[in-house]
Every structure is written in C-alpha cells, then in structure tokens.
C-alpha cells in the first residue's frame, strides 16, 4: 500500500474560501493560521515513527521515479509530494 500526501504547506481550501467571500488582503495573524509552515509537518518522520518507510519528492521527476520504485516493493510506504 502506498500513501501519497500532497503537501502544499497551507490550508489552501481556506485560502480559496477567503477569496470566495471577497477577502482580498489578510493580516499577518490570519496568514499564520492559514499556513502550515511554522513548524512544517515532517511527514517522513511521522511515518517512520509508526514503522512505515517514507520518502519526499520535491519535483515531478522525483515523484515519478519514487512511485515507480515503490510500486515494486512489498509493505506500506508513504510518499510526501511537495507541491
């Protein structure tokens, strides 16, 4: 089983909803609440802490290569795809 986390480091859906209701500018406090960067979640460490092998892909090429290799393996694996 392969789990893929598309990590955009933000509550992007909430950012979109702010735009949908007409909010064009947000303050620093609101921005901090809509971002997931301080601290960033370390999905690789979380997975490994639960006994699951994991790796991070920071480009399409890395993701493609990683997915190809993971699909040939047995057991669970987590891929963090940074977007």
**Tens digits of per-residue pLDDT, 42-52?**
999 999 999 99
pLDDT in tens, 1-41: 999 999 887 777 777 788 889 888 888 887 777 777 777 78
Q: What are the CA-CA distances from residue 15 to residues 7, 27, 43, 48, 69 (Å)?
A: 15, 13, 22, 30, 35
Tell me the CATH architecture of domain 2-82.
3-Layer(aba) Sandwich (3.40)
pTM: 0.72
> How far is it, in rounded angstroms, from Cα 24 to Cα 57?
32
Q: State both tokens at 6.
A: 């598309």
> How far is it, in rounded angstroms, from Cα 47 to Cα 77?
8
* Domain layout of the chain by residue ranges: 2-82
């Amino acid at each position: 089983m392969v789990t893929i986390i598309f990590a955009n480091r933000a509550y992007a859906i909430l950012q979109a909803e702010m735009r949908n209701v007409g909010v064009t500018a947000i303050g620093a406090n609101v921005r901090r609440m809509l971002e997931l960067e301080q601290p960033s979640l370390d999905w690789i460490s979380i997975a490994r802490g639960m006994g699951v092998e994991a790796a991070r892909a920071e480009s399409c090429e890395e993701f493609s290569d990683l997915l190809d290799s993971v699909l040939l393996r047995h057991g669970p694996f987590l891929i963090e795809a940074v977007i």
